[in-house]
Amino acid sequence: MASKERIQRLKEDTKMKILEAAYKIVKEEGWQALSMRKIADEIEYTAPIIYEYFSNKEAILAELNKKGYLYLAKEMEEAKNKHEHPAQQLEAMWMAYWNFAFKKKELYQLMFGVQMNCCSMQKTPEAEAPGKLITDAIRKLMPGKELSEDEVCRRYYTFWSVVHGLVSINLVNRGTSDEMNKQVLKDAIDGIIRAITA
């Protein structure tokens, strides 16, 4: 039994090394440079061993995409939990989203297709978790109102369009200061919250 557990642990370690190597290559050279051969060279394995864990490069991208959404949801949840009022939770979660976009910009590019093709936008629990945090806060912001799913969705996409647009502009070409960007972001979030609660 112990040897089966050890073998499983070694497999998980190898899988993690492959993902870490892929992310390292991307951080240093960009997404276009990623290949199975480069990953194998980075961890000093042969390419066929990489294929034992991932059928192709797209499978590696899908796994990194999943990890990105898990990390983003965790950051947003932690930000939300620091506040009681839904308006403050929304602002904190969108600021966490903003911070994630620049702290883990390569993952953000993969997840949302900024300057590259993104992973397929499948509805996975990981990909839906950040949106669920936001939509739950939107519902709490409007207690006593009977909101349709379409209305909640529209308000979520209003937020996301503004925030993602600002992030994308800055990932492609940082034209203004971080302080100015954060103030624009806060102004936009506050404006949307006022529109929702009016």
Superfamily of 64-197 according to CATH = Tetracycline Repressor, domain 2 (1.10.357.10)
Rounded to two decimals, the pTM is 0.85
Residue-level pLDDT, tens digit, the chain, 198 residues: 568 888 888 889 999 999 999 999 999 998 889 999 999 999 999 888 899 999 999 999 999 999 999 999 999 999 999 999 999 999 999 999 999 999 999 999 888 875 544 444 567 888 899 999 999 999 998 877 787 889 889 999 999 999 998 888 888 776 567 788 888 899 999 999 998 887
Q: Do 134 and 93 contact (CB within 8 A), yes or no?
A: yes
The closest alpha carbon to 40, from 25, 59, 61, belongs to: 25
User: What CATH number has the domain spanning 1-54?
Assistant: 1.10.10.60
The residues spanned by each domain of the chain are 1-54, 64-197
Best CA proximity match to 74, nearest among 97, 55, 54, 52:
97
Long-range Cβ contacts of 165-168 (<8 Å, 24+ apart): 166/98, 167/97, 167/98, 167/101, 167/102, 167/108, 167/114, 168/112, 168/114
Would the CATH topology of 1-54 be identical to that of 64-197? Answer: no
